[in-house]
Structure formats: C-alpha cells, structure tokens
Amino acid sequence: MYILGIETSCDETAAAVLNDDNSVLSNIVLSQDDVHAPFGGVVPELASRQHITAIEYVVGESLEKAGVKLPQIDAFAVTQGPGLIGSLLIGVSFAKGLAYYFQKPLIPVDHLESHIHAVFLENKTIPFPAVALLVSGGHTSLYLLRNKLSFERLAKTRDDAAGEALDKIAKYLGLGYPGGAIIDRMAAKGNPQKYHFSLPRMTDKILGYSFSGLKTAALRTIKDKTITLEHPQLDDFLASFQKAIVNALLAPLDEIIKTQAPKSLILCGGVARNSVLRYDFQHLAEKKNLAGFIPSPQFCTDNAAMIAGLALEKFKNEGEFTLSLDLNAYPSKLKKAGKIRKS
Ligand code: KG4
Ligand code: ZN
C-alpha cells in the first residue's frame, strides 16, 4: 500500500509518500521563506499564491523520488487544519481532486496531532502514557497520549506561542526570517547567563504557558541596552533570551510528570529543532528516568511525512475512509467544532 500526504497549512508546500510499513519513501518540502522574508513574517495571501504555483510540482517530485506512479497510490491524506484558511484550501482541493479522479479514500489529518505523531515515523511504538510538548510557530501546548491515536490537551499558551516570540524578537532586531533558526545559530556563540529574564509565573496557578511577558521584557532590554545588529553582546542577548524561552517551556513538566505519571516524553513542532531545547529536554527526561523522544529535525518543522504517517495510522485503526467531497478545511479547532458564532 502507498499513501500520499499533502501539507499546505502555512508557508511550506509539502508532499510525501509512505508505504504501509510506515517507511518514508519521499518527503519533499518547498519553503516560501524567500517570499516572506522581506516582511519578517508570513503574508497569508502570498502564501496561498505560492501554494497554487508549487503544489503540482511538489507532489510530482514526491512521487518521482518514491518511484511510485499516481495510479499506484491507495489513499490520499491532507492537512485539514488548523492553519491559514487560504493555504489549507489549496491542499484540501488538490487532494480532493486526486482522490476523486482515482476514486480512492481521502483521509483528513489535524496538523497539530500530526506534529506529535511524527515521533512514530522513526519509532514503531513508545511507552504509554506519554506527555507531548508541542512547540511551533503558532502553538505551544502539552498533550497526554494514552495510545497512538488519542490526543488530550492538558495545557496551552494564553498568548504568544514560543516560536512566535522568537520570530518577533528576530524581526524587531532585523535578524531575518524565520527568526527561531537564526537565533539558534547566533545564540550558540553567546553566553546565556549574560542577561537575566524571569520565568513567567501564572498568578491563577492554572497550568499553561505565557510568552508575551518574556517578549516584552526582551523588547525592554533591547531599548535600555540599545541592542542592535552591531552590538558586541548581541549573541549573549540572544542566548539569554533563548535560554529563558527553553526554561519556560520545560518548567511545567515537573508538575505534569507528577500528576500524569507518564512513561515517556515527546518534544515536537518546529521549535523542537532548537539545539538548546533538544539538549535540555533529553537531560530532563533522563533526570526523571523517562524515555525522551524527539523527531529528527526534518520531521519537526512542517512536512507531509507526518501527515501521511498519522493518516496511515487512522486508516489501519479507524476502518474504512470513504471519499467525502464535503470535506472542508478549518482554520482553528473552535471553527471545526462550530463553537465560534458568525458575527
Ligand atoms: O511547526 P512549524 O514548522 O510551523 C508551525 O506549525 O507553526 O514551526 C515553525 C516555527 C517558527 O516559529 C520557527 O522560527 C521555529 O519553528 N523554528 C525554530 C528553529 N527552527 C524553526 N525555533 C528555534 N530554533 C530552531 N532551530
Ligand atoms: Zn506546524
């Protein structure tokens, strides 16, 4: 069996082919970084236009690399949401067209769940229950997994996502886009002890994240110490800010491990590429005597292998998927659940 996954939720056009053994035969990601870089962030209208021009080529490449022809594909998988609605619709429409033409099942996949499931692209299974820390450009959340297909959200950010905070500071300093990866590179040359940032504290004691306070503190330091691209301690500043974000991300794990008693920990999402976060996360897992799992970097940032991987799991466990032409994209979970009233 071959499954083709398509991902277009934000600014990466991606397609991948997996076989029923869960082996990744191809994983093509076409980044739009150059298009969005001049704006310091993703411009939704430009993202949709780029997906339209790129999708046929990217899907073609994924098939060619896998050595598989379109009629051999047994099921199509696509990101349904959450994400930018214009971008999502390109992937959903393209996948629907293929599934309709070849009369094959179309499997919708949640983008956030697929980031977590990415861990199974390289591990057949892991000890359950597992706690997953999902850190991306738009989301920062903790989940409990009792098996490969159950995703229970335990906590989330109340304001910015961690990646968003890194990207915004990078944009403010004129470092380039996407900021997280650039900060990671520059911070490697800096001293993380040089500037002090306090850990965000939740006054209501409800488990969750908040990164807007850290972002504001960083902006204040930039102004007070006149930190610019030429500042001799720029790398120290970035290393200190990055370390503060990493500390804030790992802080709630103590409490979660106590209350949920997981057998393993997962770190995933684009920010999981961060070198300091990867190191500190594994260190924490070891200290707690838990198995720590982090997908390889190419499976952390947006990709379609994770979409096809989760779809395959659903296909094997949730019975027949039919071809539903009513399938629609959803920009957020609330919109999917119909909890947002139209104004
Ligand atoms: O998961 P992802 O590819 O897209 C979303 O679903 O949001 O995550 C993108 C985020 C961006 O904020 C980017 O700056 C961040 O991942 N990122 C990193 C690194 N590489 C990508 N953040 C820190 N260190 C990195 N090496
Ligand atoms: Zn993502």
Nearest C-alpha to atom 1 of ligand 1 is from which residue?
Answer: 270
pLDDT of residue 200: 84
Task: Please name the amino acid found at residue 59.
Answer: V
Report, as an integer, the average pLDDT of 153-160.
Answer: 95
Report, as an integer, the average pLDDT of 229-235.
Answer: 96
pLDDT of residue 342: 39
Task: Please name the amino acid found at residue 199.
Answer: L
Query: 50 falls in which pLDDT band (50, 70, 90)?
Result: very high
Task: Please name the amino acid found at residue 92.
Answer: V
Q: Confirm if 309 and 114 have CB atoms less than 8 A apart.
A: yes
C-alpha gyration radius of the chain: 20
**Cis status of the peptide bond prior to 262, with omega within 30 of 0:** no
pLDDT of residue 341: 46
Q: Is 306 in the pocket of ligand 1 (CB under 6 A)?
A: no
pLDDT of residue 201: 82
223: left (phi over 0), alpha (psi -120 to 50) or beta: alpha
pLDDT of residue 337: 63
pLDDT of residue 205: 75
Task: Please name the amino acid found at residue 48.
Answer: S
Q: What is the DSSP letter of 255?
A: H
Q: Is 108 in the pocket of ligand 1 (CB under 6 A)?
A: no
Query: 73 falls in which pLDDT band (50, 70, 90)?
Result: very high
Q: Confirm if 163 and 137 have CB atoms less than 8 A apart.
A: yes
pLDDT surpasses 70 at 300? yes
**Across the strands, what pairs with 12?**
31
pLDDT of residue 343: 35
Compute the distance from residue 73 Cα to the ligand 1 centre, in Å: 31
CA–CA gap between residue 294 and residue 254 (Å, rounded): 18
Q: What is the mean pLDDT of the chain?
A: 94
Among 136, 267, 333, which is best to mutate for testing ligand 1, by the most ligand atoms less than 8 A from CB?
A: 136
Nearest C-alpha to atom 14 of ligand 1 is from which residue?
Answer: 180
Cα–Cα distances in angstroms (integers) from residue 264 to residues 12, 281, 306, in the given order: 30, 12, 20
pLDDT surpasses 60 at 179? yes
Q: Confirm if 242 and 274 have CB atoms less than 8 A apart.
A: yes
Compute the distance from residue 301 Cα to the ligand 2 centre, in Å: 6
pLDDT of residue 326: 81
Cα–Cα distances in angstroms (integers) from residue 141 to residues 112, 137, 211, 250, 268, in the given order: 10, 12, 12, 11, 10
Residue with tokens 């991306």: 136
Compute the distance from residue 282 Cα to the ligand 2 centre, in Å: 21
Query: 322 falls in which pLDDT band (50, 70, 90)?
Result: confident
Q: What is the pTM of this model?
A: 0.95
83: left (phi over 0), alpha (psi -120 to 50) or beta: left
pLDDT of residue 318: 86
Q: What is the DSSP letter of 183?
A: H
Report, as an integer, the average pLDDT of 109-138.
Answer: 97
Write the DSSP assignment of 269-334 as a string of letters.
SGGGG-HHHHHHHHHHHHHTT-EEE---GGGTSS-SHHHHHHHHHHHHHS------TT----SSHH
Q: Report which of residues 184 and 337 the model is more confident about.
A: 184
For the segment 276-288, what is each residue's pLDDT rounded down to a tens digit?
A: 999 999 999 999 9
pLDDT surpasses 70 at 80? yes
Strands 24-31, 75-81: pairing kind? unpaired
Percent of the chain whose pLDDT exceeds 90: 88
Q: Confirm if 100 and 325 have CB atoms less than 8 A apart.
A: yes
Coil, helix or strand at residue 234: helix
pLDDT surpasses 90 at 266? yes
Report, as an integer, the average pLDDT of 164-192.
Answer: 96
| Ligand nearest, relative to CA of residue 300 | 1
Compute the distance from residue 245 Cα to the ligand 1 centre, in Å: 13
Candidates 80, 87, 83; CA nearest to 5 is 80
Among 12, 172, 271, 279, which is best to mutate for testing ligand 1, by the most ligand atoms less than 8 A from CB?
A: 271
Compute the distance from residue 223 Cα to the ligand 2 centre, in Å: 32
pLDDT surpasses 80 at 203? no
Q: Which residues, 6+ apart, have CB-to-CB distance to 332 below 8 Å?
A: 81, 82, 340
Compute the distance from residue 197 Cα to the ligand 1 centre, in Å: 22
Task: Please name the amino acid found at residue 10.
Answer: C
Cα–Cα distances in angstroms (integers) from residue 306 to residues 55, 82, 106, 111, in the given order: 17, 15, 16, 9
Nearest C-alpha to atom 11 of ligand 1 is from which residue?
Answer: 137
Nearest C-alpha to atom 10 of ligand 1 is from which residue?
Answer: 137
Nearest C-alpha to atom 20 of ligand 1 is from which residue?
Answer: 181
